[in-house]
Chain A
Amino acid sequence: MTDVNRSPEPAAAAKPKQVLTSGVKQIWCPGCGDFGVQAGINKALSDLGISKENVVIVSGIGCSSAMPHPFSTFGVHSLHGRLLPVAAGLKLANDDLTVIGTGGDGDGYGIGVGHLIHNARRNVNITYIIMNNEIYGLTTGQASPTSLFGAKTKSTPFGSIENPENPVGIALAAGATYVARAFSGDPMHMAEMIKGGIQHRGFSMIDVFSPCVTFNNVNTYDWFRQRVYKLESVGHDPTNISSAMEKSIETEKTNWEKVPIGLFYRIERPDYAQLDMTLRKGSLLKQPMPTKQQVNEILDEYK
């Protein structure tokens, strides 16, 4: 199950003006799709001119969750499946930060899928990038929630008998206000999707096909290249939730012959901080500590 369709590192294609590097070496296998995502995030941040001290990259656990380390920004490498609550906590506490969640399909669509649904519906202003390789890589090749029906993996040697999750459909149903999909083999397009997600005020999800060159010899770069097409090229209206839903099930309807990438849906809606009584007064971090008088006034409620 190795060395199939190994492509040159796509990272080179998305060269940023400013390289946000800590000098830490990334752990990924040569040719891993995640390199392209790293380059895409770097390019998006660089193009948008966001200062590195105001960026926090939050990850879960898995190959793709090693994302924050090579960056010279702030980062939290948290628990498996829990990057979204950590990221939401950071953003709710300090609205001035640009918070980017990065993780894999096992992390975000498996163990942590509940947090995807709830942070989407609460529309916290964070950008969540899922490197979806349809396999568990770091644990050496078990079926993931997006493994195709019939996928032969270490945990499903006779073929998976479960249907793959539809993450785009889930995000739409949960109320995400920016839902896009990208492909590591097209890093310029991916950088645009990420950039759009960061610029969007609200919960942005970008599902990225990011091939695992070691443990998934089916969903390869070439496999995706033969199937993906851009929603922008077919006149898809990203303000129309019904069309977006329709497009999200196209993979299933065509048995993965036609795989749309691009912006499925975007809607302007107040984000959590704009609606929250406390956060409307400003960033939680900047709000003053209570005075003794304020504490005593509250205690007087109990007299």
Chain B
Amino acid sequence: MTSISIRIAGAHGDGVESSGALIIKVAARIGLHVVAYRGYGSIIRGGHCWYQVRIGDSQLRSYGEGIDILIAINQDAIENQKSHLNDKAVVIYDPSKVKVDSLDAGKYKLVPIPLLDIAVAASGDPIMRNTVALGAALKFIGIDIAVFNDVLKGQFGRKGDNVVAQNIKAATGGYNYMGVQTLYTLKGDGKHRYALDGNTALSVGAYAAGCKFYSAYPMTPASSILHWFASHEDKGVMPKQVEDEIAAINMAIGASSAGVRAMCGTSGGGFSLMVEGLGLAGMLETPLVVVESQRSGPSTGVPTKTEQGDILFVMHASQGEFPRIVVAPRSIDESFKLTADAFNLADKYQLPVIVMMDLYLSEHVETVEGFDVDGVSIDRGKIVTENADGGRFKRYLITDDGVSPRAFPGSKGLEFVAGSDEHNELGDLVTDMYAGLDWAIDVRSKMHSKRMRKIETMLKNEKIFVPEVLNDGADYFLVTFGSTTGPALDAIDILKSKGKNFGLISFNYLMPLDKEKTKNMLQGKKLINVEGNYTGQLAQMIRMNTGIEITKSILKYDGEAFTAEGIANEAIALTNK
């Protein structure tokens, strides 16, 4: 397997992100594999940002530790990125703007190109300097300029032939510049792959499941879900930007109560505001999908950096007890599939399902072979449209499986009031004037256990609430959830190449958990939990459910995403002790 990491670095407003997106498109088009991730801050112009695109000739699951080709747009790019350069890295820069004195010329291949001059000659517009640099970078990795030209046509076609021609001229100028040569050969398999980030896959998954309503307040890294719904409003979905996250969740509950599949989304800070609403969905037994994309906390934390520090919070958020499902997609592919599944689970068990993302999963782009669109089915659960028995409708009928028949407003004869107070089968409150009466105590107890019984029903009906074990006979196992799984898989390959036999136990459902099965899967194995937080929240969750204590941990809470190399190095250090 060959892989090359190209990093373009500059200031916010320099077009770093759109340049990265162009490289991804080129690679995905000719059947190469990509993992791309960007680093940025809460600033619109200025500051420092980068976009790293790792391109490989077989599947990649992490964004790569070092830089093979650096496109340095400004001086900061050299100073901030030089510690990440691999040996023999190519550094592309404009000598009129950037000095490379601080780099060891013997260690790296320094490639000065008059990016601005070529851009101005091609178009009169210095902004095309990035395109010149991209042309050069593509030559270094042996990609035909014709592919780039096609992508530029697709990208700028709407702006007219002249803009396309200028871009192509700029790209060709970089591609053919003297000293620019092909150093690496990346051969694609010709299959044009999808390239998208986790939030996009999640949004399409929700759309495929028939989600019609998405309410949110802008918050990184969940905002792009709102943007997705807003830009697809013509496809029959309704985005609703609201005044705060309290409104977001309560409006979604209202929409769901009316019978529409509804979702809301936010990050940890917004989820804190949603907590009371989450309990309302639990009490009203209203199906609801909530996205929580984690970022570094607590409080405002590091708004543009990743973390996995919210899982215990989300699993226990709200006063009182009610069943909920917490799902943590492990990949872009699962962001689509498990979000689509979340709507069925929410409807079948009439409860909130929380989809745990994190900034890395929400925002990093991967190439994906395909999505199981045909596998998306829609199961609305126990919906009734007619009153079979006469009399008042028992919305909260006490059943063996804990799930009661559900009706939507507009259904004649099925009128009921859904109450956040404890209620009887009809929805009438047993609190206020009846609190403490013997029969009311009895109703409370029966109704609470009816709701909680849904956990047993789910565990019995669904086979999903266990982790996945890979390489069962391994000497050691990395234990992961969510987005950390990808880098851990790549780490296992690295470890194998160094003679270490590692397996993987990864969770995509965190709650509920089949305790017995999970315990049997974990017992007797040497485990190392790998998670993006300080306290080892996954390990705590495992211990709480199985009694198994994991004593070796790889933890990261600096805001950066896990890399395969980083995990492998720590795993070696831990197992050599």
Contacts and interface: CB of A to CB of B under 8 A. Distances in A.
Interface in B206-258: 207-208, 210, 212-213, 215, 232-238, 240, 242-244, 246-248, 250-258
Contacts of A69: 417, 419, 428-429
Contacts of A94: 258-260, 408-410
Given A53-B415, A79-B250, A27 B433 contact: yes
Contacts of A24: 428
A292 B284 CA distance: 32
- Most central of A55, A57, A87, A277 by chain B CB within 10 Å: A277
Contact of A281 (B213, B236, B378): B236
B412 to A, nearest CB: 4
A71 B392 CA distance: 12
Nearest to A276: B238
Nearest to B229: A278
A55 B415 CA distance: 9
A92 B239 CA distance: 11
Given A77-B417, A93-B260, A27 B251 contact: no
A92 B242 CA distance: 13
B236 to A, nearest CB: 5
Contact of B429 (A77, A96, A285): A77
A68 B194 CA distance: 50
Interface string B252-273: 1111111110100000000000
Interface in B180-216: 192-196, 200, 204, 207-208, 210, 212-213, 215
Contacts of A117: 243
Contacts, number: 196
Interface residues of A, number: 62
A73 B212 contact: no
B421 interface: yes
Given A115-B247, A292-B374, A86 B433 contact: no
B195 A93 contact: no
Contact of A76 (B251, B254, B376, B414): B254
B409 A74 contact: yes
A299 B421 contact: no
Contacts of B378: 289
Contact of B409 (A56, A279, A288): A56
A2 interface: no
A298 B233 CA distance: 12
A254 B41 CA distance: 54
A76 B395 CA distance: 12
A212 to B, nearest CB: 16
Contact of B418 (A22, A66, A75, A93): A75
B482 interface: no
Contacts of A27: 432-433
Interface string A87-98: 111111110110
Given A94-B259, A298-B235, 20 more contacts: A22-B415, A22-B417, A69-B429, A74-B409, A77-B417, A77-B419, A79-B280, A82-B276, A86-B253, A89-B251, A89-B257, A89-B258, A90-B258, A92-B240, A93-B256, A93-B260, A117-B243, A284-B260, A290-B236, A295-B373
Interface of A: 22, 24-25, 27, 51-58, 61, 66, 68-69, 71-79, 82, 84-94, 96-97, 114-115, 117-118, 276-279, 281, 284-285, 287-290, 292, 294-296, 298-299, 302-303
Interface of B: 28, 192-196, 200, 204, 207-208, 210, 212-213, 215, 232-238, 240, 242-244, 246-248, 250-260, 262, 276-277, 280, 284, 371, 373-374, 376, 378, 392, 408-421, 428-429, 432-433
Closest 3 CB pairs of A and B: A89-B254, A75-B417, A93-B258
